[in-house]
Structure 1
Amino acid sequence: MRPIIRQLDDSAINRIAAGEVVERPASAVKELVENAIDAGARRITVEIADGGKTLIRVIDDGCGMTGAELPLALSRHATSKIDGSDLLDIHSFGFRGEALPSLGAVGRLTIQSRAAGEEGAEVSVSGGEMTAVKPCALNGGTVVMLRDLFYATPARLKFMRTDRAEMQAISEVIKRLAMAEPSVGFTLRDVSEGRDRVTFRADPCSGDLFDALRGRLSQVMGAEFTENALSIDAEREGFRLTGLAALPTYSRGSSVAQHLFVNGRPVQDRMLHGALRGAYADFLSRERHPAVALFVDCDPHKVDMNVHPAKSEVRFREPGVVRGLIVSALRHALAEAGHRASSTVAGATLGAMRPEPSGPPRVYQMDRPSQGALASSWRAQAPQPMPERPLGERPAPEPAGFAEFSQDYSGRVDVVETPETDAAQPVEALPLGAARGQVHENYIIAQTGDGVVIVDQHAAHERLVYEKLKRQMAERGVAAQALLIPEIVEFSADDLSRLLGIADELSRMGLTIEAFGGTAVAVRETPAILGEVNAKALLTDILDELSDYGSSQLVQEKIEAILSRVACHGSIRSGRRMRAEEMNALLREMEATPHSGQCNHGRPTYVELKLADIERLFGRT
């Protein structure tokens, strides 16, 4: 029989929409907390039971709603955020008017609210069925309580994860929103099984842009991140980039510490993540990921927020400008950091030096020595007998104590004389100090004004040579090798269009391609430094990167990888004994070269230990 077209009822429409807006308890928390922020709340409390499956309660001190507005707030596509005349002019988190009716369609939703000068009111909706508005006692603001999420759609409950996993997802949502709004206080409580445990708390931060942001990021991402992060503030063609980006030596094994915001909204955008990867590509291996909190601000008409109901994806009108801004701003900040390395390197070094505790804590009290031990000590410290000398000869200097131990038990270290330039300049004025010795023919020991620096001579020199090779390549350009017979490669029409769109960029890197009729491209030149190249495989990999990140740095990364290998083979080898002037020259060049704080793979090239920390190791403080 011919299918009949019918209009679905409101309950079915709301349950269908809920499948897009409310994927899991964390999605419900996100929508409710964003509504509280849009209402001007200064403090928001979220209470969760059983990972949000049985209870989600959001309490705020915002502007509230009147009793007459509550039924309208539960209607689909009813909102106070926009008037519908311009869907691009969005200045709030919410604007679609879908969250509350969707939550009411799949759970038991109760809203209590009170606007200034009005009486408190309450309304409930369960499975899409709304009750009448009734009065309630409330000081101000709004309390939204959601019970039994997905009870109206039991099939969705089968996709829920464990309570612990859902609570972790909720915590991540709260933390991202807390980073976006430093002036708002957030509290997350776990009230499962009658307990009341605060799992996350962030008090409101005051001050200017960077002070408030740095304070909030210390609460959310930890003080170590802010201590090892660089301030970012750059602008280009109407786009502004602010935030904090960590040093390469403060990296993570996954991308969990990458937080990106567009006009204050947390987003997950492949183009932005691709730009971030490109900015750090020269400092980290593919297995390591940078830690950042970056905010892109622009005119709302330059970005489309209405891409997905969850509002986690955006589309920029000028994605190339945004990508270039992120890459250039991060690389400029990393270059200005010079030879700086993260403080966590020194912390890990000191942690490795601490002895493992064994047995009860030792009481540092001088034991009473025996008479035999005292006699041996006195003999060891007694001056040596004066040798007989001819009449008229000057007496020899008196030997120091422990003279008989000086040959067999001494751990003498040869003193390294510093160059005259270092002697004329105080050690305190040199960031990496003056070389005092070399151990195991690989590590340079330098003394600073307030500590000690240990330098990996091979890793440090490898980075210096690599930066020099890159400068030479930038000045002279990438040498291209013309192919005697151009290689013809067939692609689909879409892939051909994407490749030809970046042909000029590839040409600057020594890879010249041009259309060859139909859906084929002709590869006429390849970078000479790469040697023999499989053009089809290279172009396919470039297309994969374009699909994943919206841009491709593959050719540049391959060239830089070869330069890195050349630098590795041309640098000072481990096991080579260096002279004092060579060691000091290496330290001075490190101070003058950007990015010298990490090797080509993101590992630190030196460790700095403060004298106070070293003294604590020996119990001197």
Structure 2
Amino acid sequence: MQRINLLSPRLANQIAAGEVVERPASVVKELLENSLDAGATQLDIDVEQGGVRRIKIRDNGVGILKDDLSLALSRHATSKIITLDDLEAVRTLGFRGEALASISSVSRLHLTSQAEGEVEAWRVETEGKDMSTSVRPASHPKGTTIDVRDLFFNTPARRKFLRTEKTEFNHLEEVVKRLALSRYDTGFRLSHNGKQIYDLRPVTDQLHAEHRLASLLGKKFIENALTIDVEAAGLRLWGWIGLPTFSRSQADLQYFFVNGRVVKDKLVAHAVRQAYRDVLYNGRHPTFVLYLELDPATVDVNVHPTKHEVRFRDGRLVHDFLFSRIHKAIADVRPESEAESASESGLSVSQGVAQPETAITEQPALPLANRPVNSTDWMRAPQSRVAADQVAGQLEGMRNLSGYANDYASSGGYTPAAGNEQVDPLTGEIRQSPAPSLNVATGFTGSVQEEYQTVPPLGFAVAQLHGVYILSESENGLILVDMHAAHERIVYERMKTSFYEKSIATQPLLVPINVSVSQSEADLVEENGEVFSAFGFRVERTGLESVMVREVPIILIKADTEALVRDVISDLSANGVSDLLEARANELMATMSCHGAVRANRKLTIAEMNSLLRDMEITERSGQCNHGRPTWTQMTMSDLDKLFLRGR
């Protein structure tokens, strides 16, 4: 029988390093977080061979006192927390007290520092199997330099798992990028094998913040991004979200920060995906750089060794806040706002997206309030491109629905044969339905006889091209509109408004459907009955491991009810929330609106085309159809002059 022995300090640290130090990027993350917590405003990172041979980080923080240098390389030693109360309200990036000890156990580490207020600098390094330390005088300005050489030199098995130099450096660069996005008030310099990669100066205003975003994420992101800043219920969300037409094939341009800490959280991902659901192709991913600020006591950052994951005390509140604010911000992007932005800043608009002709164009900033973490005054400015909190009130005044039956049927969404009594799939009303109207203009709410003091954002129609596109003359140039895609969005948004503003029509099942589930799943159904009832489902628990579906909404009467209920339960179990019922209803309405929208080769009069343009200007998400395709594009006079070489 093996006797129980106490592990040596070096072996214990190397085991801990298995959790903390996965690759060179892990080392850089831990060291840079320590520097930021020390108040550094400038960070210089020099690496060789992807960080395997050498990682040298220098900061201008408060430094480390001579008497604390040996402790700095010991396990479970930190200046950031003392009591349990400190742990429950962590305001620093690092706090475990294991990073330096773990790194020094698998590398040759030298730490040189001069503490604030001291006249001498000191250097510490570890020696021997017991990791004893030696401290000696050194020359160094205020701050700290950590030099890590030959990573995993004494653990060759770990070193074999490293990838190529290029791959390891890409991971390391991503760490620097994330921290540079989290701290605009700090300068970052990164060099690899003597070649400078980044030289980012501290940010002082909105324009320089967008320059940093462009340097790190590419010019296209900031050219196609909306600024957002909203607060509610003790939560604050600010940052940039990409327009729906600027989507990616993979989720590689998504950065989310909680109190300055970058995290990857499934609840956050679900909320953002739900907010973009109506405007993206299947398989496409939105882009964003978002910052959530909340009371540190309401979020647990100590649930993962590398602190990449967090746990919110009230996850549903956070999810609903993120979804509603991002959803409103996207909904408020209409041709009016995009065309005005182009007019004011000299942008050209393509595929419904404002695209600056220069690398970075100054844009109106948001009226941001004081932020509890990393406050930066440059983010507070008078005018916002996205006023998310005002969306609901504006829509109420702009939309002029003249009753569901006439509005929906005349727009082509629901037109059964004349004289037949039909059950409306959305409201359940039994009524005598009108015959299909051949006058497309009756499907639009805008008046074609209005006189305008100024030219509307989408201008006035000039002609119809090949029965597919509307050519319009605007104040800035010409605009092309895909009439089917545009009308599809208009019909869809009206259908959703009618569906959600009226009580949802339901139908009791003649034979209720019994669904066998686990006990925990039955508990979920019992605890989340409002999720089902909000969409016309009546689902009751009938046993320890069974539930019964007794009533369903008419719009989903032909759906596979049992499969749908199981999917909702699964979603509730995984995310704590579920929007699958709403998603299924929206999918059905999107299909109906696609078939009901005006088709290609349908001849429209000038009045009908102008009516469609006016409706686009007041319809949410009118820049994209239900499938994520752009509905309009613009060429400014400047674009046309360049095309024909005018002025040369």
* TM-score tier after normalising by the smaller chain length: 0.7 to 0.9
Tell me if 1:587 matches 2:613: yes
Partner of 2:455: 429
- In structure 1, what is the Cα distance between the partners aligned to 2:503 and 2:219? 42
- In structure 2, what is the Cα distance between the partners aligned to 1:154 and 1:544? 43
Partner of 1:525: 551
The CA deviation at 1:458 is 0.3
Tell me if 1:218 matches 2:217: no
Partner of 1:475: 501
Tell me if 1:231 matches 2:233: no
Distance 1:88 1:216, change over 3 A: farther
Q: Is the 8 A contact 1:32 1:58 kept in 2?
A: yes
Distance 1:202 1:348, change over 3 A: farther
Partner of 2:202: 204
Tell me if 1:283 matches 2:279: yes
Tell me if 1:486 matches 2:509: no
1:571 is matched with which residue: 597, 600, 604? 597
Partner of 1:542: 568
Moved more, 534-543 or 157-166: 534-543
Q: Is the 8 A contact 1:77 1:98 kept in 2?
A: yes
- In structure 2, what is the Cα distance between the partners aligned to 1:481 and 1:496? 23
The CA deviation at 1:124 is 1.7
The CA deviation at 1:349 is 11
Q: Is the 8 A contact 2:482 2:632 kept in 1?
A: yes
Partner of 2:45: 46
* Aligned-partner residue type, residue 94 of structure 2: G
- In structure 2, what is the Cα distance between the partners aligned to 1:556 and 1:71? 59
What SS is found at the alignment partner of 1:328?
helix
Tell me if 1:125 matches 2:126: yes
In the TM superposition, 1:50-129 aligns within 5 A as: 50-86=49-85, 87-116=87-116, 117-125=118-126, 129=131
- Deviations along 1:561-605, whole A, 9 cap, x unmatched? 110011001111011121100111000110111210111122210
Higher Cα Rg, which structure: 1
Q: Is the 8 A contact 1:460 1:598 kept in 2?
A: yes
Identity of aligned residues (%): 41
- In structure 2, what is the Cα distance between the partners aligned to 1:303 and 1:571? 46
Tell me if 1:326 matches 2:322: yes
Q: TM-score scaled to structure 1, two decimals?
A: 0.83
Distance 1:128 1:539, change over 3 A: farther
- In structure 2, what is the Cα distance between the partners aligned to 1:618 and 1:524? 67
The CA deviation at 1:481 is 2.6
* Aligned-partner residue type, residue 614 of structure 1: L
The CA deviation at 1:39 is 1.0
- In structure 2, what is the Cα distance between the partners aligned to 1:284 and 1:133? 59
In the TM superposition, 1:226-305 aligns within 5 A as: 226-305=222-301
- In structure 1, what is the Cα distance between the partners aligned to 2:165 and 2:571? 37
Q: Is the 8 A contact 1:21 1:27 kept in 2?
A: yes
The CA deviation at 1:73 is 0.6
1:317 is matched with which residue: 291, 313, 318? 313
Partner of 1:377: none
The CA deviation at 1:547 is 4.5
* Aligned-partner residue type, residue 155 of structure 2: T
| Unpaired stretches in structure 1, ≥5 consecutive residues | 351-418
Partner of 1:368: none
Q: Is the 8 A contact 1:274 1:550 kept in 2?
A: no
- In structure 2, what is the Cα distance between the partners aligned to 1:118 and 1:65? 13
The CA deviation at 1:6 is 2.6
Partner of 2:141: 139
* Aligned-partner residue type, residue 610 of structure 1: T
* Aligned-partner residue type, residue 425 of structure 1: Y
Partner of 1:367: none
Q: Is the 8 A contact 2:245 2:351 kept in 1?
A: no
2:465 is matched with which residue: 439, 449, 455? 439
- In structure 2, what is the Cα distance between the partners aligned to 1:93 and 1:256? 23
The CA deviation at 1:477 is 3.1
The CA deviation at 1:335 is 2.4
Moved more, 52-61 or 334-343: 334-343
Partner of 1:407: none
- In structure 2, what is the Cα distance between the partners aligned to 1:184 and 1:39? 12
What SS is found at the alignment partner of 2:252?
helix
- Deviations along 1:498-536, whole A, 9 cap, x unmatched? 333322112111222111112111111223212323233
How many corresponding residue pairs?
A: 545
- Deviations along 1:196-239, whole A, 9 cap, x unmatched? 212233221013xx666545323322343233322222222222
Distance 1:454 1:316, change over 3 A: same
Partner of 1:499: 525
What SS is found at the alignment partner of 1:77?
coil
The CA deviation at 1:9 is 1.9
What SS is found at the alignment partner of 2:292?
strand
- In structure 2, what is the Cα distance between the partners aligned to 1:611 and 1:345? 9
Q: Is the 8 A contact 1:443 1:457 kept in 2?
A: yes
Q: Is the 8 A contact 1:274 1:551 kept in 2?
A: no
Q: Is the 8 A contact 1:101 1:128 kept in 2?
A: no
2:161 is matched with which residue: 159, 166, 169? 159
- In structure 1, what is the Cα distance between the partners aligned to 2:122 and 2:627? 60
Distance 1:158 1:537, change over 3 A: farther
What SS is found at the alignment partner of 2:82?
coil
- In structure 1, what is the Cα distance between the partners aligned to 2:293 and 2:41? 22
- In structure 2, what is the Cα distance between the partners aligned to 1:499 and 1:6? 50
The CA deviation at 1:347 is 5.3
Q: TM-score scaled to structure 2, two decimals?
A: 0.80
| Unpaired stretches in structure 2, ≥5 consecutive residues | 354-446
Partner of 1:187: 189
- In structure 1, what is the Cα distance between the partners aligned to 2:67 and 2:171? 35
What SS is found at the alignment partner of 1:177?
helix
The CA deviation at 1:320 is 1.0
- In structure 2, what is the Cα distance between the partners aligned to 1:28 and 1:433? 56
Q: Is the 8 A contact 2:524 2:573 kept in 1?
A: no
